[in-house]
Structure 1
Amino acid sequence: MQNENSFSPYQKFVIAVLTLTQFSVILDFMILSPLGDTLMKSMNIKPAQFGLVVSAYAFSAGISGLLTAGFADRFDRKKLFVFFYGGFIVGTLCCGFATTYPMLVAARIITGLFGGVIGSISMAIITDIFTIQQRGRVMGFTQMGFGASQVLGIPIGLYLSNAWGWEAPFFLVAGIAIVIMILIGLRLQPITGHLALQHDKSAVMHLWHTIAKRNYRIGFSATALLSIGGFMMMPFGSAFAVNNLGVTEAQLPLLFMVSGIGSLFVMPIVGRLSDKTDRFWLAAGASLFMMVLIAVYTHLTVNPLWIIMVLNVLMIAGIMGRMIPSMALITGVPEMEDRGAFMSINSSLQQIAGGVAAAFGGMIVIQKDKFSPLEHYDTLGWVAIGVSVICIFMLGRVSKIVKAKTSKTVMQKVDTLIEV
């Protein structure tokens, strides 16, 4: 008999395909940060305009998620997955063919309309296929797409960019995504268990009933706060490294590769810890660690590359150390019949909050000319720290909701056994 905490061969395949999907979607988004300095110089755009390129994806992804939330529990999750992933591939190709700033913004909007929903569908698939005791490890593995994008995707993308122009990385992402799409079509089974539990006659009512639940709104708020801190600083990371810390364009791929390797080691460990310890306290401790590193990093000046690498690895450990247990905790909030809608709204708010943060960050950060140091990046750090403090308190409320729900489920099972 298989242990309920171990993974079946099919579950391992699902983890693998979701991780690969995350890799492609995250790479498409993450590649903008290391290309930021190159794009600002080649298209002659300012930090505020680059912030709009980042936020255009986030805002369109958020709007798309809200529009599809009411329908998310009314279809086979595999069909939804294939439809939106196909649109994401088209949007990514449009980014590669963009030749002007307005075209690039439009392409990012198209990519966001489809790509922004993929994460919520993945989360719904995870909650349908895996028990809550398994989800921390699953999150740890699927979030390895983040690390893999830095170890493999971003360095390769930067080398391609240096050789053939900034458009080349987008064609790389599209090629990878097409291979993954074939795997999804051939091997992923239909996921329809939630369809029998639907009671709302209209998509609008289902969306409204999901938003109207107080516990769900607390979960949404925690996710939005988690997103704000990271999105605020991330788009300007490469420009800060090049113009403030003395990292050369040739050294950037190595910096991202080392940071990614560090995250690949950290994420599975955090995932296991998340399933064995109290997720709230793990997220709270990692948040405090991250806040200290943000305060240090955003006040750095020119330093040896190895010091910058070490601080980047530690900061990513803090970010992932809070993100994995937090998201695993939040998946315990919705009931099965609401998971698709909950995850869509949750992902939408995450994207919209990130878009607001990126745009806000673009207004704070100033660069006098293409080669001047970024100014006020340290201010962004203090704002991110303040938001993280509020986020800890909100995660505490989510933890109480999930624990109460788990206790209720256990009592219902005991009562059923007694009756039998």
Structure 2
Amino acid sequence: MQAQQPPVPFTGYQKFVIFVLAITQFTVILDFMVMSPLGDMLMKSLSLQPRAFGIAVSAYAFSAGISGLLTAGFADRFDRKKLLLFFYCGFIVGTVFCGMAHSYVALVAARIITGLFGGVIGSVSMAIITDIFSLQQRGRVMGFIQMGFGASQVLGIPIALYLANLFRWEAPFWMVAAIGTAAVTAIAIYLKPITAHLAIQKDKSALLHLWHTAAKRDYQVGFAATALLSIGGFMMMPFGTAFAVNNLKIPNADLFKLFMVSGLSTLVIMPVVGKLSDRIDKFKIFMAASVWTMIMCVVYTNLGPTPLWLVMILNVLMMMGVMSRMVPSSALTSAIPDMADRGAFMSINSSLQQIAGGIAAVVAGMIVTKKTNYSPLVHYDVVGYVIVVISVLSILGMLRVDKLTKKKMASKNVVMPEAEAVLSEGM
């Protein structure tokens, strides 16, 4: 494979931006992902069937998707720092409501509120990344930002499980709210206003800007590819803990070990994949990771009672594929929108990602069944086969994104003008 240009170094301010966005990513991911390790506890304590739990998980995703679409037209009309502060504060409030919930109905309502704000944070962060970092840097940036996923498993989920077992299942949400409060304070004090995009706005109406962004054919290719990738990525997650406890026969007391080992592997994998994405062809990395993911998903979903050590190994191997798809796909998709459309594009893209994830959770809940609270899940293997089909479609979709990105980069300098300005200011 042909090597690209040497990586462009980060400035001190860029390193701060990476750190603070990684923290916000950590809290948002932990808030969403903690529903999975709490799944077995919730289904048993509230006597929920998989379908009901799937609705509880998808409530966040659907509200996040709707919120993203409603705010997409406004995403490029305000200082991105102010947008991030507004939605992150709302996310913290929603998480507090989750901690105060004492019934299934109250929990679903709180998850909807949290999703309305939390679902927009990722798109605002992506727009900030695209404004501040050149395409040559974004693979590494995505690698570090996506480390929030691994950190949530290494630190967040084990601590959350410990707190849930020590107190109640509401405790992890209070922990997320506390971390989020510290992060929003750092953003308010140290993050500089991000307003360069305001000078080049053409649409007078927010609704018109949303329509023009959604109607562009090249952008639609990116939206479709992201949606397919999200459906495949979300289908296994809601019932992962219940499958481990009831099918693989992993004791609840050992779940934190499984998450910790998987998370540690992610912390090692993500930066490596990020560097490789900046040095070699991003699509080839994505395709190889997708094929590996398909193989491991089929193997994992067909397991029966399995020793913990073997489950850990297989889980790490599967996560290698799943997470290695995220970095190159995010970097490729970020190159599609023009500067004037980035906020709207990222909002729509994030919304479709959330809605697709919600659909995946609902569909998985319809496929997976169980007779009693303590009986094994049935048809979880079918979920693995569905993921294979969707992954093939994802490869085809990302191939089109890759062609669009290379075509666009060939028509302009690899380092964007706005990124050059940021770099020169920091030197």
TM-score by length of 1: 0.97
Q: Counterpart amino acid of 2:10?
A: F
Quick one: distance in 2 between partners of 1:19 and 1:5?
20
Q: Structure 1 residue 410: deviation in Å?
A: 4.0
Partner of 1:418 in structure 2?
none
Whether 1:172 aligns to 2:182 is: no
Q: Counterpart amino acid of 1:209?
A: H
Whether 1:115 aligns to 2:132 is: no
Quick one: distance in 1 between partners of 2:157 and 2:371?
27
Quick one: distance in 1 between partners of 2:329 and 2:156?
26
Partner of 2:69 in structure 1?
66
Q: What are the within-5 Å matches in structure 2 for residues 365-384 of structure 1?
A: 365-384=368-387
Q: Structure 1 residue 236: deviation in Å?
A: 0.2
Q: Structure 1 residue 84: deviation in Å?
A: 0.1
Quick one: distance in 1 between partners of 2:225 and 2:295?
21
Partner of 1:104 in structure 2?
107
Q: Structure 1 residue 412: deviation in Å?
A: 13
Q: What are the within-5 Å matches in structure 2 for residues 295-374 of structure 1?
A: 295-374=298-377
Whether 1:53 aligns to 2:79 is: no
Partner of 1:131 in structure 2?
134
Quick one: distance in 1 between partners of 2:7 and 2:380?
47
Unmatched 5+ stretches in structure 1: 414-420
Q: Structure 1 residue 292: deviation in Å?
A: 0.4
Q: Structure 1 residue 28: deviation in Å?
A: 0.3
Quick one: distance in 2 between partners of 1:27 and 1:112?
13
Q: For 1:148, which of 147, 151, 154 is the aligned residue? A: 151
Partner of 1:191 in structure 2?
194
Q: For 1:397, which of 382, 396, 400 is the aligned residue? A: 400
Aligned residue for 1:133, secondary structure, equals helix
Q: Structure 1 residue 4: deviation in Å?
A: 7.4
Q: Counterpart amino acid of 1:158?
A: L
Q: Counterpart amino acid of 1:368?
A: K
Which range is displaced more, 379-388 or 3-12?
3-12
Partner of 2:281 in structure 1?
278
Q: Structure 1 residue 323: deviation in Å?
A: 1.0
Quick one: distance in 2 between partners of 1:85 and 1:305?
37
Runs of 4+ in 1 over 6 A off after TM superposition: none
Q: Deviations over 1:370-410 (max 9, x none)?
A: 00000000000000110000000010000000000011114
Instruction: Count residues in correspondence.
Output: 411
Q: Structure 1 residue 173: deviation in Å?
A: 0.4
Q: Counterpart amino acid of 1:260?
A: G
Quick one: distance in 2 between partners of 1:96 and 1:410?
49
Q: Structure 1 residue 44: deviation in Å?
A: 1.1
**RMSD, matched Cα:** 1.2
Aligned residue for 2:220, secondary structure, equals helix
Quick one: distance in 1 between partners of 2:137 and 2:359?
33
Partner of 2:206 in structure 1?
203
Q: Counterpart amino acid of 1:214?
A: R
Q: For 1:225, which of 218, 224, 228 is the aligned residue? A: 228
TM-score by length of 2: 0.95
Q: Structure 1 residue 304: deviation in Å?
A: 0.8
Whether 1:6 aligns to 2:15 is: no
Aligned residue for 2:252, secondary structure, equals coil
Q: 1:411 to 1:72 in 2, by over 3 A?
A: closer
Partner of 2:3 in structure 1?
none
Whether 1:251 aligns to 2:236 is: no
Quick one: distance in 2 between partners of 1:410 and 1:78?
27
Q: Deviations over 1:288-328 (max 9, x none)?
A: 00100001000001111010001111111101111110110
Partner of 1:89 in structure 2?
92
Quick one: distance in 2 between partners of 1:233 and 1:293?
12
Partner of 1:17 in structure 2?
20
Quick one: distance in 2 between partners of 1:151 and 1:410?
39
Q: Counterpart amino acid of 1:294?
A: C
Aligned residue for 2:236, secondary structure, equals helix
Unmatched 5+ stretches in structure 2: 1-5, 417-427
Q: Deviations over 1:90-143 (max 9, x none)?
A: 000111111111110000000000000000000000000000010000000000
Aligned residue for 1:409, secondary structure, equals coil
Quick one: distance in 2 between partners of 1:50 and 1:12?
39
Q: Percent same amino acid among aligned pairs?
A: 64
Quick one: distance in 1 between partners of 2:413 and 2:70?
35
Q: Structure 1 residue 411: deviation in Å?
A: 10
Quick one: distance in 1 between partners of 2:380 and 2:232?
13
Answer whether contact 2:135 2:414 (CA < 8 A) is retained. Answer: no
Q: Structure 1 residue 258: deviation in Å?
A: 0.6
Quick one: distance in 2 between partners of 1:202 and 1:173?
36
Q: Deviations over 1:237-256 (max 9, x none)?
A: 00000000010000001110
